[in-house]
Amino acid sequence: MSHIALGVIGGTGVYKLAQLADVETREVDTRYGKPSGPVRIGHLLGQRVAFLARHGEGHSVPPHQVNYRANLAALQAVGVQRVLALNTVGGITERFGPRVLACPDQIIDYTWGRISTICEEPGTDVLHVDFGDPYTPLLRHKILAAARVTGVKLVDGGCYGATQGPRLETKAEIARMRRDGCDLVGMTGMPEAALARELGLDYACLAIIANWAAGCGTGEEITMAEVLANVDAASSGLPELIGELARG
Ligand code: HPA
């Protein structure tokens, strides 16, 4: 295992890391099974970075069937300690419109039926990890610092509401989430963040806002084409930001 400065998990619309050079591909098997695809390890602006596409490189794995444990364990197996999770999301509150990038600091979990702990394996101790701050505060600070250095605009904070999917939400569900205090809605934020904590990884989220959530903003129908176009447009500064983060 050699040192890798950063592991990156790509979400919807981010199936590879632009500017990743000298790429080496690892097929990793873990005690939790197979990850969504190969781990691609390469150099990004001089730093060694590992990348994994959360839904597979052809987006074939729906949110509720992602093997979150295997994905994180595969990154850990190749030597990753710090994980930057890229999550494509919908925006609920004012500051989180399409094409905005955000570094949330809280989560509410609305998912169900997903394997959400590593403690079910035979021989593992039951863990009750502290999850008051679900994202590693120091890594969040480093992401925000890297954004400042590279001139990438990033909203500091926000609450990520994790829904089951794969369908989008009803307007009433989003209205309830707004009342609960959610700013963002996505389908993959949990159990990934909690599993990272159990596995002892540093983990934080960079949310890419692709659309207004149901009933928010202009209230128009949400299309996959709109989601992908907005992710693309919002992602142009990410290689520099990720390279800078890997350096720090
Ligand atoms: N809801 C849930 N997940 C999402 C959305 C949304 O509106 N947009 C992108 N991922």
Question: Above pLDDT 90, what percent of the chain?
Answer: 89
Q: How far apart are CA 194 and CA 163, in angstroms?
A: 15
- Asked whether the beta carbons of 6 and 242 are under 8 A apart, the reply is yes
3-state secondary structure at position 167: coil
Confidence tier at 125 by pLDDT (50, 70, 90): confident
Round the average pLDDT of the chain to a whole number and report it: 95
- Asked whether the beta carbons of 245 and 143 are under 8 A apart, the reply is yes
Distance of CA 77 to the CA centre of its chain: 19
Residue located nearest, by CA, to atom 2 of ligand 1: 186
- Asked whether the beta carbons of 155 and 94 are under 8 A apart, the reply is no
Distance from Cα 186 to the centre of ligand 1, integer Å:
5
ipTM of the modeled complex: 0.99
Residue located nearest, by CA, to atom 9 of ligand 1: 89
pTM exceeds 0.90? yes
What secondary structure does DSSP assign to 184-207, as a single string?
EEESSSTTHHHHHHHTT-EEEEEE
- Asked whether the beta carbons of 205 and 85 are under 8 A apart, the reply is yes
pLDDT at 2: 64
162: amino acid identity, one letter: A
Query: Which class is 6-247 in CATH?
Result: alpha beta
pLDDT in tens, 1-42: 568 999 999 999 899 998 999 999 999 999 999 999 999 999
The domain limits of the chain are 6-247
Entry field: residues in the chain: 248
Distance from Cα 132 to the centre of ligand 1, integer Å:
24
pLDDT in tens, 36-64: 999 999 999 899 999 999 999 988 999 99
